Structure 1
């Protein structure tokens, strides 16, 4: 999730990407994303195994911000909100 192009970034794991993104977009989740306006889904990876997804999350949370931005821009150079692509 992002607040906008090159804005604040949030990284998390969920078993319901569409539902969780909806919650973040509509300010239904108190905390970091609401405080920082992270309402755009700009990048995601899908996993069949939740434990594998959690390992990837922990790995990426150690990354430098520049690496995360590089990953977003590789797959979504215009920083489009990908929420609509989930349906």
Structure 2
């Protein structure tokens, strides 16, 4: 079974939140940073990883993503702050060794 990730990304001012799911967190965030392949991300510049969860399967990750997407903004902010109180970009925290830093 393939692991899955739920992630929340934001823009530089933290005014826009994007919730997504992926089997490769590094690649997904890298693509967001490059504005590649995601219309929403390119338009709203959601290039900063604020939050992520690891799930044992993609099914579990998709189920959780759907749950979070239904939440209001305040609930999402509370979730992010419980994991990342400074609301910093977590990109460097997920980098495999020897990979590109932004």
Is 1:12 aligned to 2:41, yes or no?
A: no
**Of 69, 77, 87, which aligns to 1:69?**
77
Cα separation, 2, equivalents of 1:43 and 1:5: 16
With normalisation by structure 1, the TM-score equals 0.93
Deviations 1:18-61 (A, max 9, x none): 00100000111231111001000010001111000000000111
Point out where structure 1 has 5 or more consecutive residues left out of the alignment. none
With normalisation by structure 2, the TM-score equals 0.80
* Residue in 1 that maps onto 2:5: none
Q: How many residues align?
A: 87
Higher helix share: 1
